[in-house]
Amino acid sequence: MCIFVDYKNIPMNFQVNPVFTKDTTSILDTIKSFSNKGILFGNGQRNIIKLFDLNEKIINIKSFKIPNLINKIAYKYFRKSKAKRSFEFATILLEKGIGTPQPIAFLENFNWLGLQDSYYVSEHLVTELTYRELVEIPDYPDRENILRQFTRFSFDLHEKGIEFLDHSPGNTLIKKNAEGNYDFFLVDLNRMEFHKSMSFEMRMKNLRRLTPLKEMVAVMSNEYAKLYTESEQKTFDTLWQYTADFQEQFYRKKRLKKKLKFWKK
């Protein structure tokens, strides 16, 4: 359902997952109380995430950083907001059988100029780890098995034409299931593209941000090559080249930011 209302003279676009229609009023009231209620989750450096209780269910509300002037206008007239994209992409992922916390709602507030602020509401999923722990803890229990299952999960994404543009260490939640295997859930969904098919280069490039560790790239290449038509050697060479290029670019930007901060002082 989609509701357009006027809250404190602010035009608002509020959409709720049909599964939660009966909770519409409670969800809207919870979002309105975001600034002075809820439990802060994470560091909140860019976007702020808070946890709330909704009928004995823990929900996660993400308040996106207020956009700059150009994006305020763009998000009102030309592009979907990050909140709306997150909601729609989560819905598509679940339809395609890809794990992600269940989308609940999104809300956009507008003023005369453009988008003022926006919120994405989803189920709060408690999991044991993210991919980042596999990078940072070399002796993490069952690490290679998790990494191989994660690679199969990534292959499934690619086979379904899903290019997750923020496929980075903190954006996949990992949970051990009742059978002793692992389930994977994508988060931070606002940058995603969908294709009829993905080339080998697109697939490898999509994995380049995950780890700087050569031995992890080797394991992933070995597992991916079992599922795809390219050889293990070509898979490794291509993925490692994309990874090395990304790492170089990442640290170059970091060095530049450090210099700019120095001159600001």
pLDDT score for 254 = 64
Give mean pLDDT, residues 198-216: 97
Q: What's the pLDDT band for 5 if we cut at 50, 70, 90? A: very low
How far is the C-alpha of 115 from the C-alpha of 68, rounded, in Å?
10
pLDDT digits (tens, 9 = 90+) for 83-109: 999 999 999 999 999 999 999 999 999
Of the candidate ranges 14-28, 42-56, 244-258, the one whose mean pLDDT is the lowest: 244-258
Element (DSSP H or E) covering residue 264? helix 232-264
Of 161, 160, 167, 163, whose CA–CA distance to 220 is shortest?
A: 167
pLDDT score for 7 = 44
* 26: CB partners within 8 A, 6+ apart: 54, 55
Share of the chain above pLDDT 90, in %: 78
- Cα 153 off chain centre by: 15
pLDDT score for 69 = 87
pLDDT score for 17 = 96
**Which domains are assigned to the chain?**
2-123 (3.30.200), 129-254 (1.10.510)
Give mean pLDDT, residues 58-85: 92
pLDDT digits (tens, 9 = 90+) for 133-157: 999 999 999 999 999 999 999 999 9
Kindly tell me if the per-residue pLDDT of 238 is higher than 80. Answer: yes
pLDDT score for 255 = 59
Average pLDDT, the chain: 91
pLDDT score for 42 = 82
